[in-house]
Amino acid sequence: MKTILITGAAGDVGTHLRRELAGQYVLRVSDLRSLKKINREEKFVRADISRFADALRITKGVDAIVHLGGYSVEGPWEGILSANIIGCYNVFEAARRNGVKRILFPTSNHATGFYRRDQTIDHRVYPRPDSRYGVSKVFGEALASLYADKYGMEMFCMRIGNVNPVPIDKRRLSLLFTPRDLAQLVSIGIEHPAIRFEIVYGVSKNKRSWYDNSNAYRLGYKPLDDSEVFAADILRREPPGDATAELYQGGMFTVAEEIPNPAPLPRKARVKKRK
């Protein structure tokens, strides 16, 4: 079986993906934080991807990388710069030096969050990030393009919506990406023989989707789930939101300066970062 490195494996998306891919690949799972549970098919390697030596160590000897590691919300520039820009560069460059040709980069819907909700967009639109976090994802897409063109690497960029078994609010009715659909798209990104540089949307087949995801369908993606079965209940109980946030696809990221980090660093790591 292929050996797949998953960075950011302790996060929500990484946890879902590890469960779904169990038994299909040998998983090398990495994070700065500890994992609550390590499965039999996995090998955990702790790493701080903002340190190039760590990135070089964890990317050695793998067949592909799913690079989930990073700061996952809008926040202070220092944190986003370290995790999402320096860390992303380190992983891509370490992979190149170690001869790993294929990287799956879960970018984000927030790379295009300032498109209006009454617009349908595809993978060819000009980026309109809604936040510093969104800017960091645009950087990752641009870096992936560079490494594909300059070094012949195979880069699969997925603009992730919201990974969850069920949508949690009205906005996520357009963005739902169920774990089994996530696993299907990731498997395509790992296995498809003709990938050089691609951008696709990481969403299920939602009736309310803002995305023309024909590029993913062209590669064989056949999502199984649709958020519409949850729509009536969600719309009935959700109160009106911020007017600006409701206008744009990025939601609260378009107005927020900082959102509490759902994956805070361990205390020792925080102290180390301040030095």
pTM: 0.93
267 pLDDT tier (thresholds 50, 70, 90):
low
Task: Tell me the pLDDT tens digit for each residue of 66-105.
Answer: 999 999 999 899 999 999 999 999 999 999 999 999 999 9
- Here the CATH number for the domain that contains residue 128 is 3.40.50.720
How much is the pLDDT for 16?
Answer: 97
Residues 124-149 have a mean pLDDT of 98
Domain housing 160: 3-274
d(CA 154, CA 64): 9
pLDDT at residue 275 tops 60: no
In the chain, what percentage of residues exceed pLDDT 90?
Answer: 89
Distance of CA 142 to the CA centre of its chain: 15
Active site residue 133: yes
> By C-alpha distance, which of 89, 103, 124 is closest to 200?
124
Task: Tell me the pLDDT tens digit for each residue of 26-53.
Answer: 999 999 998 888 888 899 999 999 999 9
Residues 225-236 have a mean pLDDT of 97
Q: How far is CA 171 from CA 93, 132, 190, 234, 248, in A?
A: 35, 20, 29, 10, 10
Out of 89, 133, 221, 248, which one is annotated catalytic? 133
Q: Structurally, how many domains does the chain consist of?
A: 1
